[in-house]
């Protein structure tokens, strides 16, 4: 949303512009998976002498992380869980630096790293799954997310190989890993802000799409009850609430897109709101302050 009017490029059924949230999500995926690449090239070879343990235990904390993420109540903020997971990744590299190469050390390091990876993986793939419904080209969304994942692991792997072949001290690897953690901590607040707006708004669109067929009369009455919208503005508002684009509204009402934009600005001004999402929220709750 641009804060003054609905974007004319919004697709039907309330599907929102996901470019910015998707870009931030993919940046998060790319950055955090750099540590996965470092793990494969630095951590795993260091415990290669424990084949009996590394052959199966690596998957255990990952599966547990997935299960725990799926079991958490929806009331628990995903942001808190992600912050804990990122902290675990940082701790895994610190533990790798200060512990020996015993079986117990491997269990500690691997549990921290792979448990966190399970949480992060389920987070971003579930978000990408929700984004598929918001795009006209779901395969493109999935492909972009997968590419970010693979490129991040590739970059981390190359960095790990460089340190391994150059004989650089372990501290260098840990420093890179902790830098990655710091970058993700900067990205996360921005990412959650974008995702919150996008997905909450989509939830409202979905709820309204189910509600509207049986409540058209009630909707029209609600829009008219304040006596501040003209007949044409009520028509435009009703189509906005159905997720119609400017072009669709103009076609259905036989008016120009510029005229639609003018009506939209007037509607927002009269209801003292700034976006289609706020209009949806106002009608869906059937309450809220309106400037007379």
Q: What is the pLDDT of residue 197?
A: 66
Q: Please state, as a whole number, how many other Cβ atoms lie within 10 Å of the Cβ of residue 194.
A: 17
> Is pLDDT at 10 greater than 70 in this prediction?
no
How many Å apart are CA 51 and CA 53, to the nearest integer? 5
Q: What is the pLDDT of residue 8?
A: 33
What average pLDDT score do residues 67-75 get? 72
Q: What is the pLDDT of residue 182?
A: 92
Q: Which residue bears the tokens 């981390």?
A: 156
What average pLDDT score do residues 113-138 get? 84
| CA-closest candidate to residue 95, choices 85, 116, 110 | 110
pLDDT grade for 111, boundaries at 50, 70 and 90: very high
pLDDT grade for 130, boundaries at 50, 70 and 90: confident
Structural domains present in the chain: 19-200 (1.20.1250.20), 203-285 (3.40.50.2300)
4-to-169, 255, 275 alpha-carbon distances in Å: 54, 20, 6
What average pLDDT score do residues 75-100 get? 85
**Do 276 and 6 contact (CB within 8 A), yes or no?**
yes
Residue 227: both structure tokens together: 């006596």
Window from 9-13, 94-98, 261-265 with minimum mean pLDDT: 9-13
pTM of the model: 0.65
> Is pLDDT at 69 greater than 90 in this prediction?
no
Q: What is the pLDDT of residue 90?
A: 92
Residue that wins the pLDDT comparison between 19 and 104: 104
Q: What is the pLDDT of residue 220?
A: 55
Q: What is the pLDDT of residue 155?
A: 94
**Do 264 and 5 contact (CB within 8 A), yes or no?**
yes
**Do 267 and 279 contact (CB within 8 A), yes or no?**
yes
**Do 7 and 17 contact (CB within 8 A), yes or no?**
yes
What average pLDDT score do residues 148-155 get? 94
Is residue 38 exposed (0-12), middle (13-18) or buried (19+ Cβ within 10 Å)?
buried
Instruction: Please report, rounded to a whole number, the percentage of residues in the chain having pLDDT higher than 70.
Output: 75
Residue that wins the pLDDT comparison between 280 and 64: 64
What average pLDDT score do residues 198-217 get? 55
What average pLDDT score do residues 220-243 get? 70
Query: Average pLDDT of the chain?
Result: 78
């Amino acid at each position: 949303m641009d804060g003054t009017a609905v974007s004319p490029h919004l697709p039907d059924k309330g599907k929102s512009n996901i470019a910015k949230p998707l870009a931030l999500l993919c940046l998060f995926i790319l950055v955090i998976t750099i540590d996965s690449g470092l793990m494969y090239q630095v951590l795993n070879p260091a415990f290669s002498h424990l084949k009996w343990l590394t052959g199966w235990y690596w998957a255990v904390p990952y599966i547990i992380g997935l299960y725990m993420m799926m079991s958490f109540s929806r009331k628990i903020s995903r942001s808190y869980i992600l912050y804990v997971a990122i902290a675990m990744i940082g701790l895994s590299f610190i533990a790798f630096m200060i512990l020996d190469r015993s079986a117990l050390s491997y269990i500690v390091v691997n549990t921290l790293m792979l448990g966190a990876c399970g949480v992060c993986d389920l987070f971003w793939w579930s978000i990408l799954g929700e984004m598929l419904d918001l795009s006209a080209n779901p395969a493109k969304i999935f492909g972009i997310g997968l590419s970010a994942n693979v490129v991040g692991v590739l970059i981390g792997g190359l960095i790990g190989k460089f340190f391994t072949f150059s004989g650089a001290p372990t501290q260098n690897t840990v420093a890179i890993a902790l830098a990655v953690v710091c970058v993700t901590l900067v990205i996360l607040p921005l990412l959650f802000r974008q995702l919150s707006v996008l997905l909450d708004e989509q939830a409202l669109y979905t709820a309204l799409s189910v509600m509207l067929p049986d409540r058209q009369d009630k909707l029209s009455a609600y829009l008219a009850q304040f006596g501040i919208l003209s007949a044409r503005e009520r028509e435009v508002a009703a189509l906005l609430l159905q997720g119609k684009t400017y072009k669709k509204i103009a076609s259905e009402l036989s008016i120009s897109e510029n005229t639609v934009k003018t009506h939209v600005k007037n509607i927002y001004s009269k209801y003292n709101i700034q976006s289609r999402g706020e209009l949806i929220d106002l009608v869906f709750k059937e309450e809220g302050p309106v400037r007379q």
